[in-house]
Amino acid sequence: MNAFRFDGKTVLVTGAAGNLGKAVGAAFYAAGANIALVDLDSEHLRAAWEGNAPRRVLLAADLLDEGSIASAAAAAREKFGAIDVLCNIAGGFASGPPVHEMPTALWHRMFDLNATSVVHAVKAVVPGMIARKSGNIVNVAAAASVRGQAGMAAYAAAKNAVVRLTESMAVELRPDGIFVGCVMPTIIDTPQNRAAMPNADWSNWTPPASIAEIILFLASNHAMIATGCSIPLAGGPRV
């Protein structure tokens, strides 16, 4: 059980219908937070988060549409008050041909899903944090982004952009009492990834629940000393 508590605080989680988004949302809810869960498709959200819960709201929004995510953030504030924590979990992966053969659509798709989504979410949430001189933002990059790899240039560049965004925002927002950090998991250990790579060594993959534990720390009041950090994550907890 995570030692950090978020009673009375509101956490907005993007990509909340995915494996990591579900783990992060559940961890914050168990720690007492109100959770505003955002994803593109309302049906997927309802399937991922069945039933009703008193400290939870499901919000369909397109992170590539500034107005859409701004409306979702406004709905979260209307229900719970201020947004204290933003977790930018949404993203996507695709490999492709060498750089000299890369379709322009693939390049734009990777940056839209992984970097533009972050920019639009922070534009919707950060002004309220600045007004209160308080807040925590946690982004998700990837361990694979630390160096280029064949067939993964667009993905690696986009996730590296998330790290640079994290560092820039940390410098910009520290005077306002706002923490910004990032986690960089290896391949996330999900049923879908295991099915796609049945012969892989899963021991170095990162379980969603373990990533969520680190994110809870970065969202806590103890994290400001580490603002601007990007933490590589590999493997699961010791048992």
Catalytic residue positions, numbered = 155
Q: Is the dihedral of CA 39, 42, 48, 49 positive or negative?
A: positive
Within 13 A of 13's CA, how many CA atoms are on the CB side? 31
Cα 131 to Cα 129: distance, rounded to the nearest angstrom: 5
Exposure string over 128-143, b if 16+ CB within 10 A, otherwise e: bbbeeebbbbbbbbbb
Neighbours of 185 (CB within 10 A): 23
Token code pair at residue 16: 């909340």
Q: Is 85 left (phi over 0), alpha (psi -120 to 50) or beta?
A: beta
The residue written with tokens 């168990």 in the block is 30
Q: Looking at the chain, how many residues does it have?
A: 239
- 3-state DSSP call for residue 88? strand
Token code pair at residue 21: 């988004």
- 3-state DSSP call for residue 179? strand
